[in-house]
Amino acid sequence: MPSRLHAVYARVVPRMRKAGEMQGDEPAERARVEAWHATLDRTLPTGAVRRFDKRFAVVTEDVAGFPAYVITPRRAAPTRTLFYLHGGGFMAPISAWQVRYAALLADAVDARVVLPDYPLAPEHSWRDSFEPVAALAARWAGEPGGTVLAGDSSGGGYALALALALRDRGGAQPTHLVLHAPWVDLTTSTPETDAYDEVDPWLFKGKMRTYAQWWAGTPEDLGRPEVSPGLGDLSGLPPALMFYGTRDLLAPGCRLLRRRAAEAGWDLTAVEERGLIHVYPLLPYLPEARKAFARTVEFVR
């Protein structure tokens, strides 16, 4: 049974994130998001990490015109890399919660974080960042200690798409994948999606389909492995750990990924938690998140 704090988060988090279904058509939503993007401060949000500047050093790399942040714990030299792709429906920037989670995980497993701040939809599609981000991931995968490839929501789907690309291109591969409620099927082909739209307090079907179209760029690209990696060839991937709850619009896609992984012989451990909301392991102080964090640290080690 979900904790009392989770029940609070299930009410409060969607309000904090101003969650809601689209109030107009696609052009109206595009205009709203583009206007919001024009007001954003795109600096790295570190406010959720206590004493961040004393605990971590940050170097910014330019990747084809957009930044990638390399966050290194100061207490000890890192022995590996956590390559983290942030979620947000491909249209929201890096959040303080995502920086907090990635920094704490990196600190726990003696890793540095590489956090690409990739261009957002609707102004950009996957084609504007995928190749340079894949090249960046390949470079870090070849560093001593290897790379853990991770992400949440749309970032989890992006991480899986990168894993497919790195496998197909040869060379150094990630050692592990960690996926938090990954968005892996942007075609929304799973028939259960409509039912989950009724129970998810945070994500909404109309927005999800609109943002999927933006990220794909064209209808023909929706099913590509770079966009919908859950529909691709899943064989030959590194061991993976996936978390998701059943009050999540992306749960049907996660279940699809679990089934297709078994068929492909991919070592994917899927943790389904009854009644929990989207990306619950990233929520601060949540008992269920602490449990998921401990399991992730054990898995990566």
Residues assigned a catalytic role = 153, 248, 278
- Tell me how far apart the alpha carbons of residues 178 and 235 are, in angstroms, rounded to a whole number: 17
- Tell me how far apart the alpha carbons of residues 196 and 68 are, in angstroms, rounded to a whole number: 34
For 135, counting Cβ atoms within 10 Å of its Cβ (0-12 exposed, 13-18 middle, 19+ buried), the class is middle
The residue among 164, 207, 172 whose CA lies nearest residue 19 is: 207
Do residues 113 and 102 make contact, with C-beta atoms less than 8 angstroms apart?
yes
**Tokens found for residue 181:** 């409620």
How many residues are present in the chain? 301
Neighbours of 71 (CB within 10 A): 26
